[in-house]
């Protein structure tokens, strides 16, 4: 509980499966009122009295706790944490004393507030709940890596890897294709297609061909020599 004043009780809870995405209110030296908007659009409050200075803090994917909270009889100020624990802008005043940081259990989000409203003071307690569906973080420090496999080739396979830039590409061929896309959005592709590039003739084929030609030449020479010798040995006619 932030603050220690007594008064009229209030309690706001988001519908089942939803969570708080925005808190707002007013403050003077300390918090005067607080309201809450849920991820399904439901709004509550504000609870408290009218203050001078408006404040608001939001996180579309929810809040996971608070830090740097200060309190006396009333909530003075605090800094809410995004869904992945990043400190958002501080709200409220800077008086009162420091209190320990507070976090929701893993995977949970702040889904409700309750407390008391006095004539001059406001107390607040945050409560947590589990979202009904997986919430993708929207914090700027968050990076979403995903991979998708696509098989569209007649021969082997086509693999696609998509990084945080969200760029995705795929290649289709009769051979194999590998494509990778990193966070910078640059894409490199190596593609080979079976049967399109002739293989180099082996050196042994050339050696065999040369030997075959040489044997033919030798056979021709031998045939000529034998033919010449036969003519020389024939007797002259009288």
The model's pLDDT over 128-160, given as tens digits with 9 standing for 90+, comes to 999 987 665 554 443 333 333 333 333 333 343
The band of 231, judged by pLDDT with boundaries at 50, 70 and 90, is: low
Asked if 56 and 157 sit in the same domain, the reply is no
Structure tokens at 38: 């849920």
Measured between alpha carbons, how far is 67 from 4 in angstroms, rounded to an integer? Answer: 18
Asked if 16 and 80 sit in the same domain, the reply is yes
Q: Per the domain annotation, does 159 fall within a domain?
A: yes
**Contacts for 198 with CB less than 8 Å, ≥ 6 apart:** none
**Number of domains the chain is built from:** 2
Is 228 strand, coil or helix?
helix
pLDDT higher than 80, residue 65: yes
Asked if 164 and 52 sit in the same domain, the reply is no
Pairing of strands 53-58, 20-27: antiparallel
* Most confident residue range from 1-15, 30-44, 121-135: 30-44
Return the pLDDT at 135: 61
Structure tokens at 226: 């034998």
Q: Per the domain annotation, does 14 fall within a domain?
A: yes
Structure tokens at 120: 């001059």
Look at the alpha carbons of 206, 208, 213, 217 in this order and tell me if their dihedral is positive or negative. positive
pLDDT higher than 80, residue 205: yes
Q: Give Cα 127 to chain centroid, integer Å.
A: 29
């Amino acid at each position: 509980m932030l603050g220690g004043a007594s008064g009229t009780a209030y309690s706001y809870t988001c519908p089942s499966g939803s969570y708080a995405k925005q808190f707002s209110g007013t403050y003077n030296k300390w918090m005067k009122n607080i309201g809450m908007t849920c991820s399904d659009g439901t709004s509550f409050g504000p609870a408290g009295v009218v203050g001078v200075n408006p404040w608001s803090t939001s996180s579309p994917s929810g809040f996971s706790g608070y830090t740097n909270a200060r309190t006396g009889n009333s909530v003075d100020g605090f800094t809410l944490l995004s869904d992945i624990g990043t400190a958002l802008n501080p709200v409220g005043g800077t008086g009162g004393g420091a209190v320990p940081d507070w976090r929701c259990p893993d995977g949970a989000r702040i889904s409700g507030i309750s407390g008391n409203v006095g004539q001059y003071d406001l107390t607040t307690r945050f409560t947590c709940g589990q979202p009904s569906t997986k919430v993708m973080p929207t914090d700027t420090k968050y990076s979403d890596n995903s991979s998708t496999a696509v098989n569209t080739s007649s021969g082997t396979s086509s693999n696609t890897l998509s990084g945080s830039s969200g760029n995705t590409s795929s290649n289709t061929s009769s051979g194999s294709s590998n494509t990778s896309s990193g966070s910078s959005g640059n894409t490199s592709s190596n593609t080979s297609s079976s049967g399109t590039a002739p293989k180099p003739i082996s050196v042994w084929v050339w050696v065999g061909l040369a030997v075959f030609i040489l044997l033919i030449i030798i056979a021709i020479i031998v045939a000529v020599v034998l033919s010449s010798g036969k003519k020389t040995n024939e007797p002259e006619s009288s």
